[in-house]
Structure 1
Amino acid sequence: MRFKILLFCVLSFLMMSCGHSKRKSDLIANYEKHSAEIQELTSYFTKIVPKNYIVQIRYESSDEINLEVYEKLHDSLDNELLFRKWDIDIDNYIEEPQTNYEEKYHGKTNSFKLAKNKLNWTNETIEKLYNKLESVNCIGISNWKPMEIEYGNNALGVYSYKIFEKGLSEEQIKKYNDGCNNIYLEDNVVLSYSGGAIGMQCFEDYYKK
């Protein structure tokens, strides 16, 4: 019975998601329309994230976010998870004591304030970034290498743009052009699809080949 209920919930979610699902053609058309603004966005995000920090942020709305912050360890190339929270109301966040589970999997602190202080961010910074993402029809961004800008969902998966610091070499093009999860678009831009736990795992037209 529990399995049937779970299956029903998953199928219901997928059906509801279909009406808002993005497609590969949408991903390409959006880049063609906003290519200059998207490249400017990558430069802006690089400027506002301090050296030695990795930030991954996704917006549910202008004042509700999912946020992960990683801090580079001293004299190391490794990154340590500082803060990880979903569904943060940036104006009304309530810090609660960490459980052992949270300390292990959600970073060193539950303090949204500390995470912002480390980044030298304010709520206004977060709102301005939202406006820049909204202007190019995107929902999230991270400064892993390559930088990734999330465009939208297809069921449980996510379409995004991978933006490299410079144009890809022939070797990189081969690596980032498998047709399933990555498609080389131009110069320093790769289209990307990350599948969810179930359902589509590649770009939709990959299965037609």
Structure 2
Amino acid sequence: MPKILKYILIGLITVFGLFMIGAIVLNIMIASAFGAFENNYSVSELKEEYKTNEKAIDDLILYFNKIKPKDKFVKIEFKDGKTIGRLLIQDKISNSVLFQHWDFSKNILITPDLKNKLGWDLEKVEILKEKLDKADCISIEDGEPIKIGFKRAGLGMYSFNIFQNKESDRTLYEDKCNFILVNRKLMLEYGGGAVGPQCFQNLK
């Protein structure tokens, strides 16, 4: 075989090999985004997780209600001990977004602007993270019911919604898709992402 044909063949095989590797990596990334490698919890598993961590979740809610500004809506998700996955601050009267950002250092929370909005210091942030860890959860969101983010599955999120008000209308949350009403206190939720499942996959 002439050398030039040999080199052309080697080049084609190399390009094809790289193309196949790229296709495999792309498929893995897409599967990951759809939650293929995440734990998809059943309703019974979520009930058991909540039962195991109920006291820690109640303690988390008490602390969050104590430190959050009364005139603002706050949603915070931790990515790890040093990184905030998402923070949303809204004015409760005007509903205007005062701050919204993803994936940033927790130290930003004590900059003058955010400290003025939240009134949190690093100690409060670290205690909040500790209480989330004890509850085996990753986020907390103001509202009625208050939403405790349990675990992500791809771009989706499993959450425990805890009713604080006895008079709240629970009938709004009985669709058996995104919401599973367990009792007067607890509602399970699965919120789908931009891609992947949009409802609970296992209702058992």
TM-score in same-fold range (> 0.5):
yes
Q: Provide TM-score, normalisation by structure 2.
A: 0.77
2:199 to 198, 202, 205: 202
Give the aligned CA root-mean-square deviation in angstroms: 2.7
Query: Are the equivalent residues in 2 in contact too, given 1:22–1:153 (CA < 8 A)?
Result: no
Query: Are the equivalent residues in 1 in contact too, given 2:110–2:121 (CA < 8 A)?
Result: no
Q: What is the deviation of 1:7?
A: 6.4
- Distance verdict in 2 for CA 1:193–1:153, change over 3 Å: same
Deviates more, 1:141-150 or 1:160-169: 160-169
Query: Are the equivalent residues in 2 in contact too, given 1:70–1:82 (CA < 8 A)?
Result: yes
C-alpha distance in 2 between matches for 1:197 and 1:155 = 10
C-alpha distance in 2 between matches for 1:149 and 1:168 = 20
Matches within 5 A, 1:117-128: 117-128=116-127
Q: What stretches of structure 1 move > 3 A for 4+ residues in a row?
A: 4-10, 17-20, 110-113
Q: Deviations over 1:20-53 (max 9, x none)?
A: 3240343221111111221222121111111111
**Structure 1: tracts of 5 or more residues without a match:** 94-109
- Distance verdict in 2 for CA 1:180–1:151, change over 3 Å: same
Query: Are the equivalent residues in 2 in contact too, given 1:21–1:155 (CA < 8 A)?
Result: no
1:78 to 79, 91, 94: 94
2:37 to 7, 19, 29: 19
Q: Deviations over 1:110-150 (max 9, x none)?
A: 99531123221012211110100000110000102321100
Q: Provide TM-score, normalisation by structure 1.
A: 0.76
Deviates more, 1:39-48 or 1:53-62: 39-48
**Structure 2: tracts of 5 or more residues without a match:** 1-22
C-alpha distance in 2 between matches for 1:86 and 1:116 = 17
Give the share of equivalent positions with the same residue, in percent: 33
C-alpha distance in 2 between matches for 1:139 and 1:154 = 12
C-alpha distance in 1 between matches for 2:152 and 2:123 = 26
Query: Are the equivalent residues in 2 in contact too, given 1:69–1:84 (CA < 8 A)?
Result: yes
> How many residues in Structure 1 have an aligned counterpart in Structure 2?
181
C-alpha distance in 2 between matches for 1:200 and 1:167 = 32
Larger Rg: 2
